[in-house]
Amino acid sequence: MSTRTAVVTGASSGIGEATARELAKQGYHVYVGARRFDRVQRLAEDIGGTALELDVTSEDSVRAFTDAVERVDVLVNNAGGAKGLAPVLEADLDDWRWMWETNVVGTLRVTKALLPKLIASGDGLIVTVTSVAALHTYDNGAGYTSAKHAQGVLHRTLRGELLGQPVRLTEIAPGAVETEFSLVRFDGDAERAAKVYEGIDPLYAEDIAQIVAFAASRPPHVNLDTIVVKPRDQEGPGRFSRRPAN
């Protein structure tokens, strides 16, 4: 049997990088894509995978990336993130465009391009990393929550449209995971980013990677539809139990 192949978008840090490592451990050849090519190149060297530059907001970049992938059994739609935290009244339209282009249209571009190959594999799996922000709203978060809701709706619609095809679909909706996510959201402000995880035990990228690997290791007739995972210290997007600062 030929080697099973996985594609992980946004593999240059956080959940994507950890997922690529976990899938490689399971024996997958992993194609890792992101805009920061030096990072995915180092990762590919480590795991014996293939690094490719990928900007999910660019039609040409996605075409070049997906053309280079000959076979795909597992697609992990992970590239994404948030920009800013502002009330609707003060919404920054460029931030909104970034979030919609990356999380929603980016997921659509990559999924659409790889779908024929996933079907051809005979047992394809699409994992989309949405968020608890795909299930709930929170004040000042409408740019991100609306994008994540839309990404979730895209993914869930495919579940119905692909009935009868050999493709499974798993949505993973994490709560707070300590990655570069908040650093990106707050434009490189490390102090503000650190506050998000202060006084809680957050999830780590490896926790999500292990869940992706578990979903991928189920037999073909088992479809894990939606997995919501949060730190014990978190009940909802904005509701945490925090230890007081010393």
Q: Which residues bind ligand NAP (CB under 6 A)?
A: 9-16, 34-36, 54-57, 78-81, 102, 106, 129, 131, 174, 176-177, 179-181, 184, 205
Catalytic option among 28, 31, 144, 197: 144
Of residues 36 and 242, the one with the C-beta less far from ligand NAP: 36
Question: Min. distance of Cβ 174 from ligand NAP in angstroms?
Answer: 4
Please give the Cα distance from 76 to 118 (Å, whole number). 12
Of residues 167 and 193, the one with the C-beta less far from ligand NAP: 193
Cβ-Cβ contacts under 8 Å for 226 (sequence gap 6 or more): 170, 171, 173
Please give the Cα distance from 126 to 78 (Å, whole number). 11
8 A C-beta contact, residue 10 and residue 16:
yes
Q: Is the dihedral of CA 241, 190, 175, 232 positive or negative?
A: negative
Of residues 11 and 215, the one with the C-beta less far from ligand NAP: 11
8 A C-beta contact, residue 136 and residue 237:
yes
Q: Is 144 a catalytic residue?
A: yes
List the catalytic residues: 144
